[in-house]
Chain A
């Protein structure tokens, strides 16, 4: 009852704060621009392949153009050597396109005669990706890529590098057709040409199946975007939480409050009230961005086969609430130790830094959602909520892992409330003493 009253008024006072109103109604514009930028970058790299930063590339070239490319490079070197010797301009086929290709990366790929041979190397781990240039490449510009498993943050320039070399090969061939000249001149300066890479990954029965990268990216981006918003809301509202506690301590209101409500009731009321304000903020943001999910849903289902994953979003919301209460309880406890708002915010940094760690490690978490690091972060309470929200977006976390993380987080939240209540009981009434972790531990022990 008392917790509910405190929560309700905490909610009311928070949503009336000018800072809250500015953030709630002004920030969606900024976030929209930010997400739009990220999406553009993601979609821009969607046709790139996809394995890892130190990708070992195997190439199966049915056109023979890559052999021509080697000869072209040899021609170019010979041309340069002659110019240096005689000091005169000598025209050659290669020379005409020298500037266009002077930045082409060296070829570090392995060549395979057949797809089967390349597949063996892929299975054994000798290579990470197969770039297959089909016999009809000159007519279709098509390139096929085969990977064991598609990963979001694995984009490298392998297909572009191969495509550049294919263009070199065309140059070297005598008697270029109009179509071949169009290919050479049609690409942009880096030789990139979008939309002509077909990606396959190993599916059921150890057979390669085609990957719809846009679908995959959207499938990740929507829940991950929501997770990002949740974390963002956590960070913003946690600031209000700490500021509120510090203000009550500075105003000496806290002692009167403690004569009316129990410490744990006051603490939980504050955390739940702020959680409510954070959820309201999310609803406002969702309402303001209302047309976007509808467009994505329509475009996704009709055009690219995108599927909503409400289960993932629901579990993410549960982790958000657990995480908010966990961090919020610790923030109130630590925030109460400060002598003023500035000190309280400094102490709160002990709690605000850990949730940022999973965001910094998002590449590792997404590339290996069930790896040792991902699981360790998911089970450690200070990192658990944001880690699990990111892992859940991949759709690959086993149910037992989710349950284990949730149970650990619930137990940790309970412990955090107990510990913070003890800290709050002392800290809220303490004046003029600076804190450090050792002193905090002593307070906990002797209280």
Chain B
């Protein structure tokens, strides 16, 4: 399975007073069979990270390794294994869809026959088969988006780098792309997902890296990060108020339920034991974690973020 590693990577643009540190000392790794979410507000350095991985930019410092070898040495073969969908979509508007597919296939190392064999089912799946002989300019924005996704996975890549793949898509096509991502992950492919749609991050990502002003501010498994940024919370459907229990910090009423926040160091077991000892009953209980969107807003919104506070 493919493995990519960034070790202390930095990249700046310009010089003197106009110098911009786009990426500062960033390290992370990702392996096939998982989805890595690369998050961060606009200008955080996400796209620069991707462009360095694709060798469009070379890092000023640090190492980028693919399957243990330095990226630059294996780039030509690595490129053949990568699917890249940039945030700014681009297609040759005046060319026929079939011509664009053929050109992309050739650049991906496929013969004409291979390109045709692989494109046909994808065209059907993305409901583009009827447009194959038409010019790209005749497609709607959503269909152009689907064509780009089709082109990116034409060569059955090992690594998918999707930058905002859901923008411009209706809910039906969002599900289509989501299914595509999950299929590739299940087949042992590595998916790198850059998106501001936190619901998709929560649904698809195993691991996330959040960036802010070029630095990594959060990195680790999704659930661990959520847990680390959550005051321990239990949602209960309960008649009697849980106030007064030793482990409870505070209680908030939410519609017909109550959110119970536990004191630091107390666990769900402590809560259940104290409930039983107090003779209180409950009809339903669920463990609550802060959503990744809340984590994103709190971290990205902070004017200064301490890297030492990140989840490991």
A: which residues have CB within 8 A of B?
2, 5-6, 8-9, 13, 247-248, 251-263, 425, 429, 442, 445-446
Contacts and interface: CB of A to CB of B under 8 A. Distances in A.
Contact of A2 (B84, B107, B148): B107
Contacts of A258: 54, 56
B15 A262 contact: no
B82 A255 contact: no
A265 to B, nearest CB: 9
B13 A260 contact: no
Nearest to B82: A259
Nearest to A265: B76
Contacts of A8: 106
Interface residues of B, number: 30
Contact of B86 (A5, A248, A255, A446): A255
A445 B57 CA distance: 15
A261 B79 contact: yes
24 contacts: A6-B107, A8-B106, A248-B92, A251-B92, A251-B93, A252-B86, A252-B89, A253-B90, A253-B92, A254-B90, A255-B56, A255-B88, A256-B86, A256-B151, A257-B107, A258-B56, A259-B56, A259-B84, A260-B79, A260-B84, A260-B108, A263-B56, A425-B57, A429-B56
A13 B84 CA distance: 23
A281 B104 CA distance: 27
B106 A9 contact: yes
A276 B254 CA distance: 71
A127 B54 CA distance: 71
Nearest to B50: A259
Contacts of A248: 90, 92
Nearest to B89: A252
B51 interface: yes
Nearest to B93: A251
A262 B13 contact: no
Interface of B: 13-15, 51, 54-57, 75-76, 79, 82, 84, 86, 88-93, 95, 103-104, 106-108, 148, 151-152, 161
B79 A442 contact: no
A5 B13 contact: no
A272 B15 CA distance: 34
A257 B104 CA distance: 9
Contacts of A261: 79, 107
By Cβ-Cβ distance, the 7 closest A-B pairs, closest first, are A252-B90, A259-B84, A253-B90, A252-B88, A260-B107, A446-B15, A255-B86
Nearest to A259: B84
Contacts of B86: 252, 255-256, 259
Given A259-B79, A445-B15, 6 more contacts: A2-B76, A5-B107, A6-B107, A248-B90, A256-B148, A257-B107
A425 B89 CA distance: 18
A30 to B, nearest CB: 27
Contacts of B106: 5, 8-9
Contacts of B56: 255, 258-259, 263, 425, 429
A253 B151 CA distance: 12
Nearest to A428: B56
Nearest to B94: A247
Nearest to A446: B15
Contacts of A5: 106-107
